[in-house]
Structure 1
Amino acid sequence: MAMKGRAMAAAAAVHGGYPPTKLHSSLPSPLRIAARIKPNTAPPPISISTNPAHANLHHLKELYAICNHSCQRFPNTDAAGRVEPVDVLKLRTAIAHSSVVVSAFTKPEFLTNQSSTGAEVTSFTGIGGYWITKVAPVTPANGTLIGFGRAVSDLGLTASIYDVTVHPALRRRGIGRMIVQRIVRMLTNRDIYDIAALCSHDQRPFFKACGFGDDTLGSTTMVYTRSPSSYSKDEEMISAGGKLLLVPSPRELTK
């Protein structure tokens, strides 16, 4: 027994004070180490701008294309489910008549892009020779547009939020919430509190996390969907740009 005890003590001295069996069991396995490493969910350095001039239309069109987002509620889609490109002229008009426009920017090196194989590739700029640009604050001038949102309001009573979108590689990092919060803050600073968010069923959890909920008055959003069979004899439907337009009859125009 004495010899066995001395052998264990010698082994413990070699392994730092623990018997070999306890030492091996205490070492975390690669799987345990990987489990302890949490994915980075913090947003990169972000610059939020409320200047409509900072919303470059062509960059915004590219962001919409990456996000497969359309300004229209009923966009045309191709066989792969991709929406039609945004009409830049209509987008310019929409932004010009928006009450609040919020754009989010980050440095290009903090943007994770999707490779052609579908794998995520992060392109971080090296420290050597670029440390000044890395530590410089993000601005709309040196940043890449990665988020957007706008609101339309009568500037007196009500407002509605539209087109909130974030680059797919940077979602679930609170950027979308930053955009909505900035929109709401600007509206409430104007004493506008009747703020609606027209969203799909999948977007409801996001807006709920931003403080939105069901209308306490039980209001239901209704969309004009007048069909050709419901128009009167004094009206007719014409096709324009793939859409049906309701126009009065020539007799009504002469009145």
Structure 2
Amino acid sequence: MAVATAAHGGYLPSKFHTSLPSPPKIAAQIKPKPTPRPLSPPPISISTNPAHVNLIHLRELYAVCNHSCHRFPTVDAAGIVEPVDELKLRTAVSHSSVVVSAFTKPEFLTAQSFTSAELTNFIGIGGDWIRKVAPVTPENGRLIGFGRAVSDLGLTASIYDVMVHPALQGRGIGRMIVERIIRMLTSRDIYDIAALCTENERLFFRACGFGDDILGSTTMMYTRSAASYSKNGQMVSAGRKLLLVPHPRELTK
């Protein structure tokens, strides 16, 4: 009888106490981790005037974002893409149907890690500090975001080169740029709008209202080289690429 009392009354020897499992936590006791709030963008200015684009600053933005205009860029051992050609970039911007740029004061690039509340306090520090940083304009701001679209101005358009300075990514600036591009295209009654993007950018464009092509179209890029080209045609050099000139017989097919 004494043994039964010891077993059920909690008088087990101390060496057995360590083997008893701890009581499981109930769901109410488990506190979920708070979801981090998205960082707010600093004061920015959005421009649709191509004249506001400083090509030197735009090339610097391409470089800091490691973004290439080419579908087959040359990449060095460190994973850095080749710089964009300034003359070709000037031509591309001038012939784009829509150009959208985002600007902020250079001071905010050093405050990119602040939360919205901290940023408000930061702006309020020091006498006329707020006068120095606001309002932001393309003239007194720094280019921190860019995007453009090419269109036939009647039926279709394609969006290219959407990028935001890495220090300010994740704050909704890229979405502002895409939304402004879409607004300008749809105001011209152009709704067939494509976005040429990588697999990593698909979620971003989905958040901007893009979806899979209902026609099931797949983007294909010209990749033929002189070695793989048929002898029945001619190959003409055109800068970085080779242009395929079909044989006269093929023109009748």
TM range (shorter): 0.7 to 0.9
Aligned-pair distance for 1:84? 0.8
Aligned-pair distance for 1:131? 3.4
Q: Could you tell me whether the CA contact under 8 Å between 1:105 and 1:140 is conserved in 2? A: yes
* Aligned equivalent of 1:23: none
**Which whole-Å CA distance do the structure 1 matches of 2:190 and 2:70 have between them?**
25
Aligned-pair distance for 1:74? 1.2
* Aligned equivalent of 1:161: 159
Helix, strand or coil at the partner of 1:224: coil
Task: Give the share of equivalent positions with the same residue, in percent.
Answer: 72
| 1:97-246 correspondence runs (5 A) | 97-112=95-110, 127-134=126-133, 136-228=134-226, 229-236=228-235, 238=237, 243-246=241-244
Helix, strand or coil at the partner of 1:43: coil
Aligned-pair distance for 1:217? 1.3
How many pairs are equivalent?
206
Aligned-pair distance for 1:234? 3.9
* Aligned equivalent of 1:13: none
Q: Could you tell me whether the CA contact under 8 Å between 2:68 and 2:83 is conserved in 1? A: yes
Aligned-pair distance for 1:128? 3.6
Q: Could you tell me whether the CA contact under 8 Å between 1:112 and 1:170 is conserved in 2? A: no
The superposition leaves residues 23-72 of structure 1 with CA deviations (integer Å, 9 ceiling, x where unpaired) of: xxxxxxxxxxxx87956611111110000001110000001111001111
Task: Flag as ranges the 4+ runs of structure 1 deviating above 6 A.
Answer: none
Q: What TM-score, normalized to structure 2?
A: 0.74
RMSD of aligned residue pairs (Cα, Å)? 2.6
Q: What TM-score, normalized to structure 1?
A: 0.73
Q: Which runs of 5+ in 2 are unaligned?
A: 1-32, 113-118, 248-253
Bigger RCO (CA 8 Å, 6+ sep): 2
